[in-house]
Amino acid sequence: MLDRFDTLDQRLLDDFQRDFPLTPRPFAVLAENLGTDEDTVLAHLSAMQADGRIARVGATVRPNTAGASTLAAMAIPEERIEQVAAQVSRRPAVNHSYLREHDWNLWFVAAAPSSDALAEDLARIEADTGLPVLDLRLVRPFNIDLGFPLAGERRCMTTRAEVDQGALRESDRPLLHLLSQGLPLDPRPYAQVAAILGWSEGCVLTRIDALLAAGILTRLGVIVRHRAVGWTSNAMVVWEVPEDRMVAAGTALAQVPGVTLCYQRRTVAGLWPYGLYSMIHARSRGEALEVLARAAALPELAGVDHLPLFSLRCFKQTGARLAEEKAA
């Protein structure tokens, strides 16, 4: 699919999803690697952000390290989908919202500076819509880094298991919020961030480096909007795995090439028995189902009921809100 884009765009999309340079002029470093100039790199990234191929150049923050987040679901009658989806998307806490193939058809990710603030947002959504919300908090990550190669053969992409929570400072929260919203597409983006925070540029670079080393930032780079670049058949596959098999099943599932996310979440008694989640991003439904077949054939998932919930529509995709607006 990348071959339909300009060669420079192809490389920007595929080569710089992580390990973004921690130097005062990072786009000049990209330009040197690409055999072009800084202004051209910035122009191409700006164009791809404007047309929706990338969400931002920025960071992804490990869930529940600098705030609280959850995956939530709602069962919306067909005639109310547009109305309710708009209500949900308007909530500042909601950063991703998708329509999926299931009775529980609206799925969204919400993040807030604290667990109490997150609970308030979910309660507000229930009150505004008159519909229940499944709150499916993260229990255990197996792979939470949605940065995978867009060209070449599939390969497994796993997240580091350990995180040094002690490396996080309370003063880092506004920085994490700004990084999750995206760096300015400016020759000196870290200096721009420093000016907003009232820090020095060197302090910003030092803290980003420390947060990456601690695993609190899972990656820093180009954040791709996969549907916009041709990965349009994407399924969230949920698995009803017994607790005593969860770690083995999740570890094995995360290693399957083509499985782009994998994690355990809470179940909801009587409503939602599925505790293991995996994402498959593919260019066709057939390709996604091939990946699913390989996953379902794992010995660790033998006899496990599962459901593929293909995404039908994206209503919202932004960076997470990790600080109150005044602090941010």
Residue-level pLDDT at 154: 58
**pLDDT tens for each residue of the chain, 328 residues long:** 555 678 999 999 999 999 999 999 999 999 999 999 999 999 999 999 999 999 999 999 888 888 889 999 999 999 999 999 999 999 989 999 999 999 999 999 999 888 999 999 999 999 999 999 999 999 999 987 767 777 766 555 555 567 899 999 999 999 999 999 999 999 999 999 999 999 999 999 999 999 999 999 999 999 999 888 888 999 999 999 999 999 999 999 999 999 999 999 999 999 999 999 999 999 999 999 999 999 999 999 999 999 999 999 999 988 766 665 444 4
Residue-level pLDDT at 275: 98
List, as one string, the DSSP characters of 160-189: -S---GGG--GGGHHHHHHHHH---SSSSH
Residue-level pLDDT at 4: 60
Domain covering 7-56+163-226 in this structure, CATH number: 1.10.10.2890
Residue-level pLDDT at 149: 72
Residue-level pLDDT at 319: 73
Residue-level pLDDT at 219: 92
Domain limits of the chain?
7-56+163-226
Residue-level pLDDT at 142: 93
Q: 206 vs 269, 270, 308, CA distance in Å? A: 45, 48, 42
